[in-house]
Amino acid sequence: MNELFSLDLAQASQGLKHRAFSAHDLTLACLNRLKSTEPKIAACLTVLEEEALKQATALDQAGYDPSRPLWGLPLTIKDVFCLKGAPTTAGSKQLAHYHSAFEATVVTRLRAAGAIFLAKTNCDEFAMGSSTEFSAFGPTHNPYNLDRVPGGSSGGAAASVAARQAPGAFGTDTGGSIRQPAGLCGCVGLKPTYGRVSRYGIVAYASSFDQAGPLARTVADCGRLLAAVAGPDDRDSTVSRAPLGDYLNLEPVNPKDLVLGLPREFWTADLAPPVRDVLEEAKNLLTKAGVKFVEIDLPSLKFAVATYYVLATAEASSNLARYDGVRYGFRKSEARDLLEVYAKTRQTGLGAEARRRVLLGTFALSSGYYEAYFRKAAQVRRLIAVDVQKALESCHYIFAPVSSLSAWPLGSFLDDPLTIYQMDLMTIPLNLYGGPGLSLPAGLGSDKLPVGAQLWGRPLDEVGLLAAGSLLEKIWPPLAPPPLEDFS
């Protein structure tokens, strides 16, 4: 049954439905795959083997239930989602021993749909990073090349899907943290519209940006996962109550009816040769199939990175204030007074990148600087959103690179945070806008690393976005899996 780990969600679901194998067989195959690849990939922080097998056995005993769309399907989930009784570390020493007493809405809904949780995956500390190198528990490695980063902050989730540890995963996207690792690891990642999926029970980084979403091997599988978790939640007042679409039965798109916008600011950027070559070939294949391209302008794009890093760090400063060594989490006890408890706890419990972002955000919110930084950034955010909205009036979706680089060597930019921040340029504007985005593999570059392309859509148009993505997926050649067969 070892080959079962290679099935995507749709294939696995069909096999379970027709009793070609059991939920226990599938779960065990994925766990064995996880064990054989994990020592070198380090995608997972907590493996839930006993619970997963127990859950699979219970499902088998109860019998296949067609009313549960994820019945018996194993998933991994980023370690910012609270899962009752299991550790929830958010990749931080600050929460190293925290076990949640409640569950995130996403977790509850996935359980109700019949999903099985294999493991909680590694991430940059408090989801603050673009490489999964800023985890307190060590970096995750890219399955296509173990010397390269998987992207971040949902790098563990993307690596687990790419390495065939699980057919699907959930992550969060604050400034590209689903789309970018999906692009660098060669899988599909969906950032839903802000408010389409509940944030209840997710460790917060920047509350007006954070959005949960799926990663999988196909666009249809992302739709299947979104359908299980989307919708209103009384415990999250920011969730949209707009009607849900049919994410499972996508209408085919005629390529001759599809118009994609090419932002000049992205396509004239300094793209690495392997990235540019793959994306140019991908565009050529779409053009031959009948897809039309139009050039569009996003004039305020040059302000996007600065705007995001003022607003997101300000929100992070507020959200991380609760980790003070008094209420819960890590506490540095060798202190003379309360102020020293606060200072030493945060100095010791938070890593360098998390401290850097908290300090940036605290400065932006401080007296005398709020008007100059936070307020101005909030105004520019609106201008960027208007630019994206205007650009979408001349096309159905915006087509862009996910990153100007393919997966870079581990450690390359650890001492150069500004370079890492700048590499978020191609994902951040969509988070400032709030609409949905889909990252999918466009091919392997000359360096044998995946190159991702992304589509941006209008708010709440996940159905159209997924349908367009499915078309691109059919036109482009399938991506070869990572060379992991000899790993043990």
> What would the DSSP string read from start to end of 142-190?
BTTBTTB---SSSHHHHHHHHTTS-SEEEEE-SSSTTHHHHHHHT-EEE
CA dihedral 204, 210, 213, 219 (to 10 degrees): -160
Q: How far apart are CA 274 and CA 430, in angstroms?
A: 24
Going by their DSSP bridges, the two strands 292-296 and 397-401 should be labelled as: unpaired
User: pLDDT, tens digit, for every residue of 335-375?
Assistant: 778 887 878 888 888 999 999 999 999 999 998 899 999 99
Q: Which of 201-215, 343-357, 458-472 has the lowest mean pLDDT?
A: 343-357
* Mean pLDDT computed over 147-171: 98
For the chain, how are helix, strand and coil distributed in percent, rounded to 5? Answer: 45, 15, 40
Q: Is the pLDDT of residue 1 over 80?
A: no
What phi and psi, each to the nearest 5 degrees, are found at residue 41?
Answer: -90, -40
Q: What is the pLDDT of residue 337?
A: 81
- Provide the b/e sequence for 167-183 (b: ≥16 CB within 10 Å): bbbbbbbbbbbbbbbbb
- Is the dihedral angle over the CA atoms 114, 120, 126, 128 positive or is it negative? negative
What is the band of 124 on the pLDDT scale with cuts at 50, 70, 90? very high
Alpha helices in 243-351 (DSSP H): 264-267, 273-289, 304-319, 338-349
Classify burial at 447, counting beta carbons within 10 Å of its beta carbon; exposed 0-12, middle 13-18, buried 19 or more: middle
Q: How far apart are CA 347 and CA 342, in angstroms?
A: 9
How many other CB atoms are there within 10 angstroms of residue 294's CB atom? 12
User: pLDDT, tens digit, for every residue of 172-195?
Assistant: 999 999 999 999 999 999 999 999
Domains located in the chain, CATH noted: 2-254+438-475 (3.90.1300.10)
User: pLDDT, tens digit, for every residue of 57-97?
Assistant: 999 999 999 999 999 999 999 999 999 989 999 999 999 99
Given its phi and psi angles, is residue 368 left (phi above 0), alpha (psi -120 to 50 degrees) or beta?
left
Q: Is the pLDDT of residue 435 over 70?
A: yes
- Strand order from edge to edge, sheet including 212-216: 44-47, 116-121, 74-78, 168-172, 212-216, 188-191, 437-444, 450-456, 397-401, 259-263, 292-296
Give residues with Cβ within 8 angstroms of 389, minimum separation 6.
433, 458
Whether the Cβ atoms of residue 82 and residue 95 lie closer than 8 Å to each other: no
Alpha helices in 400-460 (DSSP H): 417-422, 428-433
Give the predicted TM-score (pTM) of the model. 0.96
Q: Is the pLDDT of residue 132 over 90?
A: yes
How many other CB atoms are there within 10 angstroms of residue 249's CB atom? 10
Give residues with Cβ within 8 angstroms of 388, minimum separation 6.
298, 398, 429, 430, 432, 433, 435, 456
Whether the Cβ atoms of residue 189 and residue 171 lie closer than 8 Å to each other: yes
Please state, for a pLDDT cut of 70, what percent of the chain lies above it: 99
What is the band of 486 on the pLDDT scale with cuts at 50, 70, 90? low
Q: Where are the beta strands (DSSP E) in 346-480?
A: 397-401, 437-444, 450-456
CA distances from 458 to 309, 389, 397, 430 (A): 23, 8, 8, 10
Give residues with Cβ within 8 angstroms of 225, minimum separation 6.
9, 70, 75, 168, 170, 214, 216
* Mean pLDDT computed over 441-455: 98
Whether the Cβ atoms of residue 120 and residue 76 lie closer than 8 Å to each other: yes
What phi and psi, each to the nearest 5 degrees, are found at residue 453?
Answer: -120, 155
Q: How far apart are CA 255 and CA 288, in angstroms?
A: 10
Active site residues: 78, 153, 177
Whether the Cβ atoms of residue 200 and residue 236 lie closer than 8 Å to each other: yes
